[in-house]
Structure 1
Amino acid sequence: MVTRAKVVMIKPQDHVAISLVNLEPGETLAITCQDQSFTVTVKEGIEFGHKFAVRDIAQGEDILKYGEVIGTALCNIPSGAHVHVHNLEGKRGRGDRQ
């Protein structure tokens, strides 16, 4: 069953959305952001306020949230997977990068 997602996704080019509820593995979500639509099956539990991939993200690829680069994927991240410190190297506020 596909449910309308309770998520925040600001820009259609974003790689992640932020959950406004706890999501369970296996839930299939219909996400719409401006003129883009995504269907995402949650791969693992996603807690309120956490990010998850709305499309596959390749290792080494920049990750976009709110239309801005927030980090680099440390490994391949499949659509529906939790995106957090275990698979994302942050770029913001580090001071060693422009």
Structure 2
Amino acid sequence: MHKFLIHKQGDHVGVATSDIEFGEKVIGVYMDDETTIEVIANSSIPLGHKVSIAQLAPKAHVLEYGLPIGYAPDGFKIGDYVHTHNIKTLRW
């Protein structure tokens, strides 16, 4: 059973559909074609929050819905919790 959804192929993050525990191996489903991906959570991720499904270099843009939603000042590893503490807006 899946524990997160990814809006589009090419997105860098998925959204938790239930709480995800540290170290848990979880399945995500791409909403555009129903393929799946499996990641291991690097920390606990609450329902509705984001999990990284891509390795990103420092200052790389973060994609969701196929669009940049911000940038990752320190980069991300697959399975990282993505939230306001490690993603910044592109607006300022």
Query: Normalised by the shorter chain, which TM-score bucket?
Result: 0.7 to 0.9
Kindly indicate whether the alpha-carbon contact (under 8 Å) linking 2:3 and 2:20 is maintained by their aligned counterparts in 1: no
Q: Secondary structure at the match of 2:88?
A: strand
Kindly indicate whether the alpha-carbon contact (under 8 Å) linking 1:12 and 1:36 is maintained by their aligned counterparts in 2: no
Equivalent in 4, 17, 20 of residue 23 of structure 1: 20
Q: Which residue of 1 aligns with 2:82?
A: 83
- Stretches of structure 1 that go unaligned for 5 or more consecutive residues are none
Instruction: Report the structure number with the largest CA radius of gyration.
Output: 1
Equivalent in 7, 16, 19 of residue 4 of structure 2: 7
Q: Which residue of 2 aligns with 1:72?
A: 71
Q: Secondary structure at the match of 1:90?
A: coil
- Stretches of structure 2 that go unaligned for 5 or more consecutive residues are none
CA deviations 1:52-96 (Å, max 9, x no partner) are 1012111111000111110011102111111111111112xx4x5
- Give the C-alpha shift of residue 35 in structure 1: 6.7
1:57 aligns with 2:56: yes
TM-score normalised per structure 2: 0.86
RMSD (Å), alpha carbons: 1.6
Equivalent residue pairs, number:
90
